[in-house]
Amino acid sequence: MKKYILTLITTCLFSFIVQADNEAYQKAMEKELQAMKVAKSSEDLQKVANGFSRIAQMMPEEWLPEYYAGLALANAGFRSEGGLEEKDAYFGTAKKHADRAAKISPDNSEVVALQGFITMGELAADPQTRGQHLSGQAMQTFGKAVDLNRQNPRAIILLAQMELGMAQFFGQGPEKACGLVQSSLELFRKEADETKVESFEPRWGKEMAEQMKDNCQN
Partner 1 sequence: MKILLSTFFILWSTIALSQTIIEGIVFDHKGTTIPGVNIYLRGTFEGTSSEIDGSFNLVTDIEGEVIVVFQALGFKTFESPQTLKAGNIVIRPVLKETINEMTAVTISAGALEASDEKKSIVLKPVDIVTVPSAMGDVVGAFQTLPGTAAVGNDGRLFVRGGDASETAIFIDGMKVGNAFGTTAANVPTRTRFNPNLFKGSFFSTGGYSAEYGHALSSALSLNTVDMPARNQGDISILSVGAGYNQTLVGKKNSLTASANYFDLSPYQSLVRQNFDWERAPYGWDAEVSGRQKWGNSGMLKAYFHTSANGMKLWQKTSQSQGRGSLLGIDNNYHFGQLSFKQLAGESWSLYGGMSFSSNTDNFSIAGLNVRNQNQVLHGKMVAVKDFSDKFSLKTGVEHFVFSYSENLITEDLERSFVDHQPTVFAEADYYFSNKLILRSGLRTGYSALGEESWLDPRFSLAYKFQNQGQLSLAAGRYSQSAVEQLRIFNTELQNTVADHLILNYLLSTNGRTIRAEAFYKDYKNLLTFEGMPYQYENVAQQGAGFARGMDVFYRDQKSFKNTDFWLTYSYVDSKRVFAQFNTMVQPWFAPRHNGSVVVKHWIQALKSQLGLSWVINDGYTFTDPNFPGEMNAKTRSFQDLSIGWSYLPKPNLIIHLACNNVYGRENVFGYQFSPQANEAGRFESQPVGLQAPRFFLLGVFLTLSKDKNANNLNNL
Q: Which residues bind partner 1 (CB under 8 A)?
A: 2, 5, 9, 13, 24-25, 27-28, 43, 46-47, 50-51, 53-55, 57-58, 83-85, 88-89, 92-93, 126, 128-130, 132-133, 136-137, 139-140, 143, 166, 169-171
**Shortest Cβ distance from residue 42 to partner 1 (Å)?**
9
**Shortest Cβ distance from residue 108 to partner 1 (Å)?**
17
Separation CA 141–CA 159 (nearest Å):
9
Cβ proximity to partner 1, 129 vs 211, nearer residue: 129
Separation CA 74–CA 207 (nearest Å):
17
Cβ proximity to partner 1, 48 vs 209, nearer residue: 48
Report how far apart, in Å, the C-alpha atoms of 160 and of each of 50, 78, 144, 179, 197 are. Answer: 31, 18, 13, 8, 30
Beta strands in the chain (DSSP E): none
Phi-psi region of 126 (alpha: psi -120 to 50; beta: other; left: phi over 0): beta
Cβ proximity to partner 1, 93 vs 184, nearer residue: 93
Cβ proximity to partner 1, 106 vs 151, nearer residue: 106
